[in-house]
């Protein structure tokens, strides 16, 4: 699955999930195959790590695996709820029924360079730039790194 800007909620992926992903959001509610996130340069993925073995199936060369922080849990819950509403997914219903426990098992996958752009954007908004201008300025500040990995 390569994503360049869409939002997707899936119940599992095979090998090479989110390979070369450059943008968007992906939620994986079930198992993953090997080599997850190889070449991932943008966007964010949230993976439900039920068996605790997700790290071993992830290509961490360009990404960090981290717990969710701040409002990320709210965004994730909204995506899982929408998936449930649109599909009637039993898996989504099961996770939502005990959301605090489920949330603790999700892992956030964030590309290193993308994280730097997000942090630069947040600094610029805090300094008073409007969000649209901050996004462009943060991208320009990090353009050389993004071009190196194919994200620009």
> Which residues, including other chains, have CB under 8 Å from residue 25's CB and lie 6 or more apart?
7, 8, 43, 44, 45, 46, 75, 79
pLDDT greater than 90 at residue 34: yes
Domains of the chain are 4-112 (2.160.20.60)
Q: What is the pTM of this model?
A: 0.84
pLDDT (mean) for 84-100: 98
pLDDT in tens, 129-141: 887 887 788 778 7
């Amino acid at each position: 699955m390569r994503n360049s800007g869409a939002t997707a909620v899936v119940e599992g992926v095979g090998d090479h999930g989110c390979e070369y992903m450059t943008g968007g959001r992906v939620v994986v509610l079930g198992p993953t195959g090997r080599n997850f996130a190889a070449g991932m340069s943008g966007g964010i993925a949230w993976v439900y790590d039920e068996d605790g073995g997700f790290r071993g199936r992830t290509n961490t060369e360009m990404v960090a695996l981290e717990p969710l922080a701040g409002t990320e849990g709210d965004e994730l819950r909204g995506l899982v709820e929408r998936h449930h509403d649109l599909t009637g997914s039993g898996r989504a219903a099961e996770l939502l029924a005990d959301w605090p426990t489920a949330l603790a098992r999700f892992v956030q996958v964030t590309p290193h360079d993308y994280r730097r752009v997000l942090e630069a954007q947040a600094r610029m908004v805090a300094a008073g730039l409007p969000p649209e201008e901050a996004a462009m300025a943060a991208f320009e500040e990090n353009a050389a790194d993004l071009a190196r990995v194919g994200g620009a």
